Amino acid sequence: MKLFSLLAAAGGANAAYTVLATNYSPSNFFDYFAFYTGADPTNGFVQYIGRDSAVNQGIISQGNTAYIGVDKTNVANNGRQSVRLESKARYTRGLYVLDLAHMPTGCGTWPAFWTLGDNWPNNGEIDVIEGVHEQIGNNVALHTSDGCTVSGSGQTGQVLTTNCYVSAPNQSSNQGCASHDNRANSYGGAFNSNGGGVYAMEWNSDFIKVWFFPRGSIPADALAGNPEPANWGTPVAMYQGSCNINSKFNAHRIIFNITFCGDWAGSVWGSSGCQSRAATCNEYVAANPGAFSEAYFRVNSLKVWSS
């Protein structure tokens, strides 16, 4: 296991990133990831399968792009088959730039692109892309141990909560410090109809920021050499305040996963706009394989930079 401690990115200096720590090339994308096959920690109606099974069933493929999907063929009374990819490398700080052509969407789905430290929540969690069902707009959040709050200023996204502690009083359990991007094309079907876009997350000792750039509005340097986020304008989410970033976030792996129902998507089924299709989220996901033809990530590129 590689551990990248991107120390040169530790400060808040406004400078271009010049060192490419990892290029997750689509042609051999899955070589960089371990396939988690245990029970879903979020209690989803899912069976996470290994690489060989996923390849054989057409759930993953790589080439000019990397395809990360789910079983869309079989009735799944014991949970729908999917994958949860966890990077073999670990990272502390840096700039993470994901170019997506397509993200999962549809009733019952709960996809995410995120980073996670061990001994949760003590080494932190950063949710860059997350949503459920046919949600409008993307959710961004941090999850930490006690003692991390943020100001909520300096961002374009809607501030939902400012206490990152997973058991914060007067917040939903594990809500963390959350923001919502009200642009429809930042998530789901509208994202896909627009040809996708670029998500970028910058993590240093002073702050954690997340940007989203729709296709057609992507800064030239975001996908080229030497990206310089100081020139990218106000981020969707800006996390800074009474929080020691260095102590709360350490040695993260990068995760892509697509789960179903579970703690979030299952709990809001009755108000999701999908509830007329089945009595419960699990029943819908089990009985309707053809409903998940849009439940996939298509990755153009993923790069992790240090400066």
* pLDDT score for 125: 98
Catalytic pick among 86, 125, 283, 294: 125
- Which parts of the chain sit beneath pLDDT 50? 7-12
* pLDDT score for 9: 42
Active site residue 202: no
Catalytic pick among 86, 130, 134, 294: 130
Which residues have CB under 8 Å from 270's CB, separation 6+? none
Other CB atoms within 10 A of residue 155 CB:
22
Reduced to 3 states, what is the DSSP secondary structure of residue 184?
helix
Active site residue 134: no
**Taking the model in full, what pTM does it have?**
0.96
* pLDDT score for 148: 98
* pLDDT score for 2: 65
- The pLDDT tens digits of the residues spanning 198-235 come to 999 999 999 999 999 999 999 999 999 899 999 999 99
Token pair, residue 189, equals 């079907």
- Residues found in the chain: 307
* pLDDT score for 10: 41
Token pair, residue 84, equals 């949860």
Return the H-helix or E-strand segment holding 258.
strand 253-260
* pLDDT score for 15: 83
DSSP 221-255: GGSSSS--GGGS-S-SEEE-EE--HHHH--SBEEE
Q: Tokens 């990077």 appear where?
A: 87
Contact by Cβ (8 Å): 222, 230? no
- The pLDDT tens digits of the residues spanning 21-74 come to 999 999 999 999 999 999 999 999 999 999 999 999 999 999 999 999 999 999
